[in-house]
Amino acid sequence: MTGPVPIRGNLAIPRSELQWRFSRSGGPGGQGVNTADSRVELLWDLAATDALPGPLKARAVDRLGSRLVNGVLSVVVTEERAQLRNRHIAEARLARLVADAIAPPPPRRHATKPTKGSVERRLAAKRRTSEIKRDRRRPAD
């Protein structure tokens, strides 16, 4: 695990900006659970980073706002029993989160009119439903 963590294209997070925390993981695992610090928490200060250009950083802060605590993005991994595998998973998750957050917004949808055939089908279905309900009624005297 050397070099920066690649995000997308030529963008990468320098490892010097990453902070790691390790603790004991919960759940099954026998004797190893009580002795191995396999739970991994990866912290990255998104608000203070210089790895992203200004507009991309603003977009990421806006989209990840609910996940940030004082501008810091946290990724917690406890899936594997080995700390090293959890570290790799945490880095991949961080890269995917940031890549999705800095992706350009999708093109705007232009409203279109329903086709003539679809309008006719919808109205015919409404008429059939109305007839079915009318036939269920008690006959008028």
Per the structure, the complete domain to which residue 16 belongs is given by: 5-102
Q: Does a structural domain hold residue 75?
A: yes
Alpha helices in 1-141 (DSSP H): 31-35, 54-63, 83-102, 116-136
Q: Does a structural domain hold residue 133?
A: no
Q: Does a structural domain hold residue 91?
A: yes
Q: What is the pLDDT of residues 75-100, one digit of tens each?
A: 999 888 888 999 999 999 999 999 99
Give whole-number Cα distances, 6 to 12, 56, 104, in Å: 4, 15, 18
Q: Does a structural domain hold residue 137?
A: no
Cβ atoms of residues 69 and 78 within 8 Å: no
pTM more than 0.85: no
Q: Does a structural domain hold residue 94?
A: yes
Mean pLDDT of the chain, nearest integer: 89
Q: Does a structural domain hold residue 117?
A: no
Q: Does a structural domain hold residue 95?
A: yes
Cβ atoms of residues 100 and 59 within 8 Å: no
Number of domains composing the chain: 1
Q: What is the pLDDT of residues 59-68, one digit of tens each?
A: 999 999 899 9
Query: For the chain, what percent of residues have pLDDT higher than 70?
Result: 93
Q: Does a structural domain hold residue 13?
A: yes
Q: What is the 3-state secondary structure (H, E, C) of 109-138?
A: CCCCCCCHHHHHHHHHHHHHHHHHHHHHCC
Instruction: Note the pLDDT of residue 70.
Output: 92
Residue 41: CATH number of its domain? 3.30.160.20
